[in-house]
Amino acid sequence: MKPIPLEDDFNDIVNKAMSGLRLTDKELSRRTGVSMDIIHALCRGQLDETSLPRIAPALELDPQALLRSALKLYRPRPAEVEGVEMFTSVYRASMTVNAFLLFDPGSKEAAIFDTSTDALPIVDRIAELGLKATSLFVTHTHPDHIAEADALQRRLGVMVRSSNREPLAGSTTFEPGSAFRLGNLSIEARSTWGHSKGGTTYVISGLEVPVAIVGDALFAGSMGGGMVSYADALRTNREAIFSLPDDTVICPGHGPMCTVSEEKRHNPFFPEFK
């Protein structure tokens, strides 16, 4: 299978930081001494290797991690965990979105996390492995993540679960901090809001390594951005995801899987870990 590209290019990161910090190009130029013409070019994806690290501190980004992103030097190692499978489908022609199937290899109990835009491969894989799917957990209710919720509920009879801070119509809601069992596995729902009102990260224990299914809270080398609150998106990522063990496998809503240790080293939005 062709490797999944990183969700964001360096200019996406720059634009998300400028938007989140409410920094205009004029103010960024004043603070950094980089001309507005160069800032405009950087925002369009035209790399200037001298100027990009200069604007990073004003954007509260790590300069070297941002430059490595621009030079495409970061690619997470392939992450494979028995009991976790990723399904990627196309959304609006130019985007892809991920859903995850998680199961206890012993009991064969399974849960689905988000739906992507094509439920059929998930349904087929559940049948192929002889799994019993009981729940569909929603990380957040943006359309690309819930497109097939009704179809999965009809086909598999799963209970749909969502945060009470961002309830999906017809679902069973839960409080952040709630815990669930899946055979011998435990699932903890942690609040990672900021990209959306009730964004939830599901931390799974009991497999060979910890797993965090994060939706759009975090991407390999980037993050979803603060569509509701940029400050809280950063804060809850730090509290709920970066506090996990370094070998925790991160399963994002877009782009490839990665690990906490890789994101500490390579994610420009979190300079304190460098």
List of domains in the chain: 10-70 (1.10.260), 84-273 (3.60.15.10)
pLDDT, tens only, 144-158: 999 999 999 999 999
DSSP per-residue letters across 59-128: GT--HHHHHHHHTT---PPP---TTEEEEEEEETTTEEEEEEEEE-TTT-EEEEE--TT--HHHHHHHHH
Alpha-carbon distances of 203 from 11, 167, 215, rounded to whole Å: 30, 19, 12
φ, ψ (nearest 5 deg) of residue 116: 55, -155
pLDDT tens-place string over residues 225-248: 899 999 999 999 999 999 999 999
* Tokens found for residue 59: 């954007």
Number of residues that make up the chain? 274
This prediction's pTM: 0.97
Residues contacting residue 272 through CB under 8 Å, at least 6 positions apart: none
pLDDT grade, residue 92 (50/70/90)? Answer: confident
End-to-end CA distance of the chain: 32
